[in-house]
Amino acid sequence: MRFHAAAHHYSWHSPCFPKPMRKRSINFNVVPKTGIVNVLKSRRRYAVEFQNMDSDLNPCPEFLRQAFASEQQCLIANLRSSTRITHAGDRGEVNEQHFIDFLRKYLPNRYTVDKAIVIDSRGNVSDSIDVVVFDRQYTPTLLDNDKHRYVPAEAVYAVFECKPKIDKGYLEYAAAKAISVRRLKRTSVDIHHAGGKHPAKRPGHIVTGILAIDVGWKEGLGASFREAHQKLPQAGFLDCGFAASGAVFDVFAGRRKYTFGPPDNALAYFAFRLLWKLQSLATVPAVDWMAYADQLSHKSKR
């Protein structure tokens, strides 16, 4: 409808009629002044209410810090009270399920988190890995059973070892596990789509790290830690680490460029930094399933 404004009245006519409708007008001079006052008061009241609501939505960093600090305290309590377990060939294990549950909670559903063994198209396998972050949307797991889950090497984003503490010995142990994964063959093929195909993606960096309850050095992640960490071989160099007692580090920016997080919020800091790193890796490459099929064919001919 089209409105015609006047000093103290308004009128309208509908385009649905060939002739304008009879004009109607309202003289606001006859409206009681108390009514106008009430309307104005009402508008002021709602304005104040909306302003208060807006103030309630203001960010509160202290709330976030306290909430995530509570999460960290719950995790360390569960870890300290959990029964220690021993895997064949492993030493000093802690219950990795608590770390798995934590990562499942913080990482998007595109990432699957579980204990697994990594396998490649040549039939090579890694050591048993405490925590594997891998793609399940485009890459199925293989030979799953109650005790073991086999993940194709192409699907792996990150691997972690769970230990009682971060110290020189456990850093070297976690590095050896990382090498057993990074040495595996990863295939990649073109990705076909309705408009053509994307060229094969080069396999990206596999993030490796250590998850623990405490730090073994009295000085924490200081000079002794850096010395031990820098001596790790390139193939097994650990990208990050977290201790539930309140320590976190990563070298996502470069081998010698350390980033350390706040002790009270080490858990959340580690999770968000890891998520940022995983995002930078994008999607894993498409698997060359023919390479896996050929391996089975070759063995059958022997």
- Annotated catalytic residues are 130, 161, 163
Token reading at 44: 């002021």
Q: Are strands 240-243 and 207-215 parallel, antiparallel or unpaired?
A: parallel
Q: How many CB atoms lie within 10 A of CB 294?
A: 13
Q: Check: CB of residue 172 under 8 Å from CB of residue 157.
A: no
The partner residues of 116 in beta bridges, in order of sequence, read 129
DSSP codes joined into one string, 106-133:
HS-TTEEEEEEEEE-TTS-EEEEEEEEE
Residue 41 and residue 287: Cα distance in Å, rounded? 68
Query: How many whole angstroms from its chain centre is CA 70?
Result: 19
